[in-house]
Structures are given as C-alpha cells and as structure tokens.
Structure 1
Amino acid sequence: MFMLAVRSLRRRVAAFTATFLAAFLGAVLVMAFGSLSDTGAAEGVAETDRQTLSTMSTVVGGWSLVLVAFAVTSTLTLSVRQRATEMALLKCVGATPAQLRRMVLGEALLLALAGALVAIPAGALTGRALLALLKSTDQVADGVPFAYGPVALGAGIGVTVLGAAGAAFLTARRVARMRAVAALGSAADAGTGGGRLGKGRIILSALFLAGGVQLGVMAATAGPEGFDSMQFAGSADILFGIGLAGLAPMLVRGASAALARPVRRFGGASGYLAVLNLRQRTAQLAAALTPVILFVGIGVGTLWMQAIQNDTSAGAVPTTQEDAIETLNFVVTGMIVLFTCIMLINTLVAATTYRRREFGQQRLAGATRRQVLGMVVLEGAVLTVAGLVCGTIAALPTVLPFSYAKTDDWLPDPEYGIWLGTVAVAVTVTMAALVGTARRTLRTPAVEAVSVAS
C-alpha cells in the first residue's frame, strides 16, 4: 500500500498540489515564529529580549500553528473526499479498510514531510526577517544573534506531519468502513450530499467558538494600560473564525436556502444549476467557504483593532514606540492574512479543477459554456456573501472587547475603509480564482472531460 501511495502521488500531481502548498506555506510560517524562541533561548541574550522573543513566538506563533494545522487538515480532507471513487474501487478489488487507511496515511505523510523539508530554508529566511523587524522597531537589541534550531524545526515539521496524518486518518475512515458496494455507490456522488456534521465536529467547533469568546472576555477585562488586551483580542478572531469554519456545511445550507430564490430568479439556467449544486454539493462547497471566513475575520478584526489602538493611544505612549508596535502588528498580521489569502486561492482552485467531469456532463446534457460559467459565478457569489457575513461576525470577539478595554464603550467608531478594503480583496480573489479556473477547465472538450477520470 505504501508503494501504491507513491504511485498515486506521481500520477496525481495536480490533485495533491493544494495539500503540498498548504504544508509548505504553513511550515514556513510556524518555523519562522519558532525560530524566535530558539533565538531567545541562546546564551548571552538579555532577559528583556528573551521575554519579547518568547512572547512573540508563543502568542503569535502558537495561534499561527493552530491556523496552519486547520489549513492542512482542510485541504487534505478535500483531496481525500474527491478520491472516494478511487478508494471504493480498491475495496471492490479486495483492499481492506486497514490497507486503504495506510495508503492515504502514506500519501499524507509523504506530502507533509516533503512540504516541511522544502520549507526549512524559507522558514530560516522569514525568521531572520522577523528578527530584523524586531530590531528595527527597538523591540530587541541589535546584538542578538539569530538562531534556528529544535523549536523551529520541531514545531514546523511536527505540526505539518501530525496535522496531515490526523486529517488523512479521519477522512479515510468514512469510506474505509463501508462495504465495497455501498462505498462505490456513495463514491459516485463524492462531494455531494448534505455534508452532515458529526457530533465530534460540532463539539470541536463549539470549543473553538467558546475559546474565542473567552479570549474576548479576557481582553475586555485587561484594562486600557499595556498591551495585554491586544494580545488576547488579537487571537480571539482566529479561534472564533475556526469555530465558524468548522460549521461551514451548515452555513452553506443556510446561505443556499436564504439566497435560492433570487439566484434562480435572476440567474436563469445558470441560477437553477447553481442552486442545485449548492444543495447537492454542500460538503465540497463548504471547503471553499472556510478560507473566506478566516480571511475576512482575521483581516477585519486585526486591522480594526489596530485602528482603535491608534486612536486611543495618541499621546499616551511615545510616538516612536507606538509606531514601532504598529509596524510590527501590521507585518505579523500581514503574514497571517497573506497565508489565509493563499489558502483561499489554493482551496478554490483545487475544488474547481476537480469539477472538470461535472462541467463536461452538464455541457453534454445541453448547458452552454456560458451557462456553466454563470453557474460557477453565482455559486461563488453565494459563498462570498456567506463568507463575508460569517467573517464579519468572527471579527467581533476581537473588535468589541478591545474597544471596551480601551474606551469603556463596546461599540467602536466605524471603520468602513477597513471593512470595504478587506471585502474588496476577498471578493476579487474569490471570483478571480473561481472564474479563472473554471474558464481553463471548460477549454477541455466535453466528451474528453467526461471520459477522463477526475
């Protein structure tokens, strides 16, 4: 089964690209922040510098680690779901559930390990850049040497490999436990259906939501002095966003029900196809909704929080110190938001490319290329609206408590520019990824698209 996993990777390079990129970029992010901990633990580093480096590595790097693990899990889950037919056929020719799990686990481990190993040089370069930023903003003394050691490598490789292995095991278990005929029948509609939420997923999502709320409460009660409220609030939107993303299948169903009538009314044949797909491909479309929620939630929450900090700290702290902290926050936030943005593109491209066979079948049934492309646009519009609403909600556990901590008022001044700017980027990236990939996929002749296995 391990050799089968190797052959599968060699023959399905495009299908595994999304998971490899998630592993690579995630490992770079985790290794970069982990290197700050290695740097602080080196001999000769002053205690104040050690505390600064440790705090940055633990707080920001810790939540980055959670985000990366979630991203790797999401992309790998999407990849395995899309291969349900292949696994069902293997069961029909005699593969046991244990063998299927070993095959998927072997693929995941190879991808994760390859991504993490390739990420080592990039992680070192990014870690050096972070340390240089801390020095330039006077957070760390100029003489502190850069170190890249066990924490960076252990965290980067460990979280990537363990996250991929856990996702592969849980995702493969569903098909592997089915009987051969039932598995083949289920796989015929791979990626379709209601995308029912299991009890474990609901409980885990509830824990993330509760964690986000708890961090918001801690931010609100931290008081206006110091930066404790910012540390707590800055992590609240990440946890709350992951909690909402875990409920993505339910959110897709809700958005589909709310927007079905206007989509059908104004979309014509494309609208009918879009509503049908939104209802029948909930699990697959939920994977595309997840990065939209995270991108909007983290982007709006952290940028708005910094705007509140700027308004309330005028004259309270030295200008140079405030500028340094603002620069640092923007860079760190930018790294995390950039990661979620890349994951957004990555997931949308992977999900849309897989639909080549579906698009071919629709065209053979009479749909034109324009109608199929219109269907993709309308689906993207529904997912974008749902992602914007849920992402904005995810930002509230950061914005509202931080506003209360700094101003004693739960409602901060509106920052329309921040929200509109984030929305513009989310809409542009989402629609560009969907439409661009769909156009490229539709270039394949319909008969060829249907005859070639996805």
Structure 2
Amino acid sequence: MMRLAVRTLRYRKSGFIATFVAVIFGTAIVLACGGLMETGIRSNVAPERLAAAPIVVTGKLTHLRPGKEDVTHLTEQVGIDDSVAAKIRSLQGVTDVIGDQTFPAPVPQGQGFSKGEGHDWSAAALAPFTLTSGTAPRPGGVVLDATTARDLHAKLGGKVNLLVGGRRTAFTVDGIAAGPAGNTFFSDQDASRLAGQPGKFSSLGVLVAPGTDLKALRKQIEKTADVSALIGLDRGQVEHPDAAVKKVVLISVAGSFGGIATMTMMFVVASTLALAAQHRQREFALLRSIGTTPGQVRRMILGEAMLVSLPAVLAGVIPGALLGRFLFDQLSKNGVASPDVTFYQGLIPFAAGAGAAVLAAVGAAFMASRRSAKIRPVEALVESSLQTKWFSWVRLVIGLLFVGGGLALMIVTGAVMSGPLAGATAGPAVLCWAIGLAVLGPLVTKLILGILRWPLYAVSRVNGRLAILNVTARSVAMSAAVMPVMLAVGIATANIYMQTTNVDAASKAFTKDLRADAVLVSTASGLSPSLLPQVQALKGVASASAYVTSLGVIDEPRNAPFDEDGALLQGISPQGSDGTAPVRLTTGSLEGLTGNTVALPDAVATKIQRPVGTSIKMTLGDGTPVELKVVATFAAERGYESIVLPADLVAAHTTDRLAPQILVRAEPGASIAPALAELAAATPGVQVADRDALIAGNNEDLKTQAWINYLLVGMLIAYTAVSVVNTLASATVRRRREFGLQRLTGSTRGQVLRMLTTEGILVALSGIVLGTLVALATLLPYASAVSTSATPSGPIWIYLIIIGIAFVLTMLSTLIPATKSLSTRPAEAAARAD
C-alpha cells in the first residue's frame, strides 16, 4: 500500500500541497517558540566585569513565603553581608574573596546622562581591567574606562562630573583603565558610602586554587551561607540582573503561546487532512469494492501522511529558525527579553516542533482512516456524492467536553477571578470554545446556516438560491470551510480585545484617584532626596510627594490575597488629605506614613484582618524583612490592589535607592509649570512631565505585555489564515467535476461564479458569527472581572478589520481556484474523479 500511496501523490496535488503547507508553518511556529523557551531556560550571558572570578556569589534572588510553595522572584539588587565573605574565605580551595560594590553612576552625554555603573577599585581585580595610565583612585577621585574617558575627553588630573546619588558631583580623574565600557571605579571608602548599603556588598568574587572542583565548592558555599553561587555562563546574570528577572517572563510567554500554537497546529493539520480524506470517499469505496481490506486502506492513508509530513518538517526548519530569531529580537527591543542573552535554538526545539507536526499529521490521518476504512463500499459510493453522516459518540463526547470546559472557565473568570489574573482562565477558554465548536462543526454549521439562509434567500436570485440550497444540503461538508474562519475570527477578536480591555481597566484604576497635576521625572538613576523640599517650597505648589514603586511579599498573615509574583509597592511621602497620593483613604491618615508603616487596601485589610493600629510582616524587593504598622486603609479597584509604604523605605530597598519621580499638585488656580521647568533646568537629569506621562509609565508593563500578545497572536492569526486559504481552496478545487456537470446542463461560467459567490458569503458569515460568539463567550466574563463594565474596551475598527480580512480571504480562496477550475472544458472536468 505504500507503493500505491506514493503513486497517488501526483494525482492528489491540491490536498497534499495544503497539508504540506500547514505542516511547514506549524513546524516553524512551534520551533520558534521552542527556541524562545530554550533561550529563557539557559539565559546565558557571558561575564565581562566579573570574568576573572570562577565563582560569583550573590544574595538569594528568590523568596519563599512562609507556609507557601510558591517562589517569588525578587526584583531588586540583593546585598550580601560582609561577614559572608569571611565564611567563604575559610573554605578549602578558596584563595581570596573580593567584594564588589555596584551602584548607578551615569556619565554626561550630550545634554543628558548615559547609563553607567560605579564600583569599588578592589573589584577591578575581578575583571580584565588594567591601568594604562595614572594610579588607583583616591578619595574624591575615579578611574575611568578607556572608552568613557575618550568620550568625555578626560585627562589625568582633570575633573569629570558624574550623577551619583541623584546629584551631579565633580571627581578627579586619577587613572584610566582598559576594560569593558560603562564602568567607573571609586576608592573603596567612596564606593561603600555612595552604594548606600553599609556593611553589605552587591556581590562577591571567589578566587580558587588551581584544580579546585567548582561544582563541589559551589554547593559548599551555598550550604555555608544563605546565598546563590554561580559558575560558568551563569555569572553573567550578576552583571545583567534583568536577564534573570526577564528569564521567567520569556519562559512563561514561550510556554503559554507554544502550547496554544501546538494545539492550533494540530487542529489545522487535522482539519486539512480530514477534508482531503473526505473528498476521497469515492476512491476508498472503489478500493474496497475490488477487495482492499480496511487495514490496507488505513496503512495507505497513514503512509501518505508520513510521506507529506516528513519533508514538510524538514522544510519548516529554516523558516522556524528565522522566525525564532525574529521573535527574540522583537522581544529584546521591547524590553521583554534581555538583549544581552544569547539566543539558542538547538535539537530540543527542533524535536518538539517536528514531533508535534508529525504527530498531528499521523493522528489526523489515523482518525480520518478509521471511518474511511470501515465504511462499506456501496455506502461510500453513495455518500461521496452528498455527505450527510458525521455523528459518532466519540466526536460528540469530545466536543461536549471542550464546550463544557469553556463554560466552566467562563464561570470561573466572571465569578472568581479579578484584575489581570482573569487572563489565566480567559485565555484557555478561547481555545476550549473554538475547539469544542470545531469538533461539533457539522452540527453548529447546520444550525447557523439554517438561520442565515433565509435573509440571503429573500434577496437572492436563481443562482444565489441554488447556492443556498446547495450549501444547506452540503452542511456537513461545508463545516470544514466554516470552522477555520470561526477559529481565526474567534482567536483574533478575543485575544486582542482582552489586551485592550486590560490596559484600559488598569489605566482607569490608577487614574481614578490620581490628583497630581505634574510630575518631575529622573532621566538618569533617580532624584536627589534634597529635591523634594525645593519643590514643596515653590510658590503655587499645594502638595508634593516622592513616588517610587517596587514589588514585595506579605509574609504574615499568610492569607494575603496576592499570587507568587508578589504585591505592587507604591512609595509616597507623608501627606495630608490634600496630598498627591493616588489613593482614596477610608480609615486612618497618611500623615504618619513614616518609618516602618504601611497603608493597606480595604479588601486586603479585611482579608488578613489587619485594621489600623495592627502590624504585618513583609519582605521587600531586595529580600529585606520588615515589620510594619498599619496607619491607614484605602479603597482600590478589585484586582488592582497595591500596598502603600513610605517613599524613603521603598527607595532604600530598590536597586537605585532613589525615587525616580516627584508628584506635584497645584493650588487652585495656580500655574506651577514655569517654576517646575526652571527648577528642572537647574537640576541635571530632571525633566517635567504632565500626569499623562505618569499614567503611561504606570501602564508601561501592561502595554509591553499587550504588544507581546499582539505580535504572537498576529502570528497565530496568520497561521489560521493559511488554514482558511488551504481549506477553502482545496474544497473548491475538489468540486471541478460538479462544476463541469453544471456547465454541461446549461449553466454558464458567470452563473457558476455567482453561485460560488453566494456560497462564499454564506460560509464567511457563518464563520464570522460563530467566531464572534466564541469571542463574546470569553470577553464578557473577562471584562466584568477586570473592570466595572461587562463590555470589553477597545476601538471597533479592530473587529471590523478582523472580519473584513476573514471575509476577503474566504471570497478569494473560493473564487480564484474556481475561476481556474472553470477554465477546463466542461466535458473534461465532468470526466475527472473528485
């Protein structure tokens, strides 16, 4: 039968080409997602500044909440007590331990400042830094790397202005060193003071004796102290801490989208093969009538699937590699992935993509072959002319299970979930609804055609009515054309409007109680603490507050309603009722928000039973545990709760240790813009912005996440569009014999095309209506969970573009192949097999 399968390929070009294309694109998408996953898991960043240290020790970058199994990744730089260095130095095989202080030290560049880091001179031994001129830095002096010195035209003994601690400070150039750019070295005394973490180091470089087993020593170090010891390429994560944080994001994005892409690919390939098998019922019937056994028919269909899928998998490798690199570059440019990470796409992603594609093809062929092989010859010959049977208990059960899953997820989304977390159930709900309707395709197609046929029938003429009758009678066969349209419209509409709704809801939640009229923004590493009193003293300023954000974890009580990502911390200055804090107080006051104090959202305070006057225990963004007294509670939108702390407390436990913004509120009728502009012009690294800039900054992460979804969903939509074209073009080409018979009975080419136009309209409308229902079943509960409205937010033109593209693709995929088929002589076309 394999020989027969090979011989039949040349006569079944349209069906096999459709399957070939579907497998190529599916392999490419899954391979690309696999590459992103491998890159995220590896997160390899070659060390530069710490390259001379075989082992680099950092503080624990994760936190395990008491009584919980979820691990929270700390987002700020975690310091190491200097006592840890002595413990590690005493271990066998360790020759020296060198502490590294790392802190922001931007250097002048044009009218502003560029990013730069400051370090203690002792840490220069951990990197390939060698003095080319001058001496080691003395108090008040610095050693610049050669690139920075050249850009600043710095000379030995001259002065250079650096933005340290939010202040522009002049330092003497004591030396120039060859080494990686963007690093400035201070004396050990100055570095310890400027880093702002007395008694702590940012990291430790461990030097070892020749022949030391690094893996064994690493385990011993982690056993001796509660730290993380890194070797090999993992050391580079210390120099690029964003790589470790973004690693989790990249893995989650690749995993979630890769799973959706794999399921979509399996559905697309399965539907394409099923359609091809459906159009060959007459051929299978003839084979059965001459004595071919069901097992032989199955082996032939499976053999054909293998012959098509294996070359398609190999052909999908190159576009998959290119697509993976393109996606990684786009994610890096938009801040999702670290640009310093090396992109990997090895054998594992290839095996995953190839395996998923081949399994989809073989699985689809197996399901298609079961029915084709079991059917009786006479019954198949009759049914091949007009397919009406589709029902099977297996198909019904699978379809109902997916529909039930979509219904359950819809209920959970609307009744249980809140805020951005609703996407965790709404996303899978889209697929459940889409797959459930696709499995029950013949049934739902028959129902929707029964509704849509009457309006079209009323306005159609003879050819249109013939098309409507034809489509209604062929509803089982036409479901294969309707379902890809439904899938494309449903997935696109639901995913895009989920993002627009989420961004809009987050923006409204933040701006609802925002009372700032202007904001001072740092363009470098943060604002000097001395700037806030200057702003408060300006004429016309009613209130001003430092503003800084971070992430933290409530440890006690243990029932705090936050997930493993932790809670958003908003640091503000103490203020009265007329202050700029973006919260609406219900109890207590923010005037006492100093020291170790906290203000909680009403829902959180009620959940953990902590009213004003009680205390909670938290872990801040750098891993520091604190006990805080509750001084106020405030109203917050459900799902968008944050925790308010003193700005000084939050800033002291961030990487930059400075507040990046100052919120300003003007007195009634006062204009504060000129005074703020004058102050900003006199203060390096400061700009004035309006409240819109603050809102945009607050929604930056959400907009980045939305952009990711637009990119990935767009790619998935493109793939489903390929499925639409494949399916409809293949279905139309297979009807050449039918068109030939129509023309032999007197129909003209124009009449056949008008009939197909009406059919295409009916197919497109059916797919659009079903896809819209799938989207609404997801969006309505999602909108009610993330906002106060039950309707999704977003411009209507997005939906119009989606359905417009679906309609155009449907019509082109139907009429172009039909026009080509009608160029064949009627008698010749009628004589061909289906």
Deviation by residue 1:112-150 (Cα, 9 ceiling, x = unmatched) = 122111111111111111211221122222221111124
Number of residues paired by the alignment?
449
The residue matched to 2:375 in structure 1 has which SS? coil
- 1:410: how far off? 2.1
- 1:157: how far off? 1.2
Relative to structure 1, is the Cα distance of residues 279 and 230 closer, same or farther in structure 2, using a 3 angstrom cutoff? same
Native 8 Å contact 2:749 2:822 kept in 1:
yes
Per the alignment, residue 332 of structure 1 pairs with 712
Name the CA distance, whole Å, in 2 between partners of 1:407 and 1:170. 43
Per the alignment, residue 308 of structure 1 pairs with 501
Native 8 Å contact 1:294 1:391 kept in 2:
yes
268, 271, 274: which one pairs with 2:461?
268
298-307 or 252-261: bigger deviation: 252-261
User: Within 5 Å, which residues of 2 pair with 1:352-371?
Assistant: 352-371=732-751
- 1:67: how far off? 0.8
The alignment status of 1:25 with 2:30, answered yes or no, reads no
309, 315, 333: which one pairs with 1:136?
333
- For 1:15, give the aligned amino acid: G
Native 8 Å contact 2:27 2:357 kept in 1:
yes
Query: What are the ranges of 5 or more consecutive residues in structure 1 without an aligned counterpart?
Result: none
The alignment status of 1:409 with 2:789, answered yes or no, reads yes
Native 8 Å contact 1:193 1:279 kept in 2:
no
- For 2:16, give the aligned amino acid: F
Relative to structure 1, is the Cα distance of residues 297 and 210 closer, same or farther in structure 2, using a 3 angstrom cutoff? same
User: Within 5 Å, which residues of 2 pair with 1:106-145?
Assistant: 106-145=303-342
Per the alignment, residue 36 of structure 2 pairs with 36
176, 183, 193: which one pairs with 2:387?
193
Native 8 Å contact 2:446 2:476 kept in 1:
no
Native 8 Å contact 1:252 1:383 kept in 2:
no
291-300 or 144-153: bigger deviation: 144-153
User: Within 5 Å, which residues of 2 pair with 1:208-247?
Assistant: 208-220=402-414, 221-224=416-419, 227-247=420-440
135-144 or 193-202: bigger deviation: 193-202
- For 2:444, give the aligned amino acid: L
- 1:318: how far off? 3.0
- 1:331: how far off? 0.6
147-156 or 136-145: bigger deviation: 147-156
Deviation by residue 1:409-454 (Cα, 9 ceiling, x = unmatched) = 3223474222222111111111122122222211111111011223
379, 404, 407: which one pairs with 1:182?
379
Matched residues, percent identical?
36
TM-score (norm: length of structure 1): 0.93
Per the alignment, residue 291 of structure 1 pairs with 484
746, 751, 772: which one pairs with 1:392?
772
Native 8 Å contact 1:37 1:54 kept in 2:
yes
- For 1:334, give the aligned amino acid: G
Larger Rg, first or second structure (1 or 2): 2
The residue matched to 1:410 in structure 2 has which SS? coil
Per the alignment, residue 257 of structure 1 pairs with 450
Native 8 Å contact 2:449 2:766 kept in 1:
no
Native 8 Å contact 1:249 1:282 kept in 2:
yes
The alignment status of 1:433 with 2:813, answered yes or no, reads yes
Deviation by residue 1:317-373 (Cα, 9 ceiling, x = unmatched) = 535434422321211111111111121111111111111100111111122222211
Per the alignment, residue 154 of structure 1 pairs with 351
Native 8 Å contact 2:438 2:483 kept in 1:
yes
Name the CA distance, whole Å, in 2 between partners of 1:165 and 1:353. 24
Choose between structure 1 and 2: higher helix proportion. 1
Name the CA distance, whole Å, in 1 between partners of 2:248 and 2:766. 41
- For 1:206, give the aligned amino acid: L
Per the alignment, residue 277 of structure 2 pairs with 80
The residue matched to 2:262 in structure 1 has which SS? helix
- 1:195: how far off? 4.0
474, 479, 501: which one pairs with 1:281?
474
TM-score (norm: length of structure 2): 0.52
- 1:107: how far off? 0.4
Per the alignment, residue 58 of structure 2 pairs with none
- 1:83: how far off? 1.0
803, 810, 813: which one pairs with 1:423?
803
Name the CA distance, whole Å, in 1 between partners of 2:284 and 2:407. 40
Native 8 Å contact 2:38 2:344 kept in 1:
yes
